[in-house]
Amino acid sequence: MGAGKSSIGRRLATRLNVPFKDADSEIESAAGCSISEIFERYGEPAFRDGERKVIARLLGEPPHVMATGGGAFVDAGTRAKMKEGSVTIWLRAPVSVLLARTGRRETRPLLKNGDPRETLERLLQERTPIYAEADVTLDSEDGPHSQSVEKIVSVLTERGALVT
């Protein structure tokens, strides 16, 4: 949450001239309600089930840039599918940056209860070993997103993942 997945993803898709897909938006469309409402009405397990299905569908579509929610990559099945059919990128950011960015909106269900800093620190501690399985790790600081986009393009080019 707050690492810049959607913002950087949109810019990267524009730079690569491919569609951008936001898995969270696709989940909301499929469910007919917001992610917060899914969490409130059905709980996190139901959300994660829908997330798995939506991401699997998106992975079957023509090339695009996809941003997923922070917990999607934690699911072993989803992670395996993502690594099988795409280049996965972890946008790593310090807690202070994540806290500042997530504090701008109150649409983060996992941050609604308790201290947001403690929650982010706990989630990051739990998820870091899993996020480290991504094909690429890119530090996402509070600089211009265009710098992150260019770094990603360079890495994808080096890996032979871009067709020019």
Q: What is the pLDDT of residue 58?
A: 95
Distance (Å) of CA 52 to CA 55, 73, 84, 96, 156: 5, 10, 15, 29, 25
Length of the chain: 164
> Does residue 159 sit within a domain?
no
CB atoms within 10 A of CB 152: 24
Distance (Å) of CA 92 to CA 32, 70, 129, 142, 155: 31, 11, 12, 11, 15
* Span 12-36, pLDDT tens digits: 999 999 999 999 999 999 999 998 8
Q: Say how many domains are in the chain.
A: 1
* Span 95-143, pLDDT tens digits: 877 777 665 556 555 556 667 788 888 888 998 999 999 999 988 766 6
Retrieve residue 141's tokens.
Answer: 């600081």
For residue 93, pLDDT beyond 90: no
> Does residue 25 sit within a domain?
yes
> Does residue 95 sit within a domain?
yes
> Does residue 164 sit within a domain?
no
CATH code (residue 107): 3.40.50.300
Domain extent, residue 60, equals 5-154
C-alpha torsion sign, points 89, 135, 140, 144: negative
Nearest to 130 by CA among 55, 66, 75: 75
Confidence of residue 164 (pLDDT cuts 50, 70, 90): low
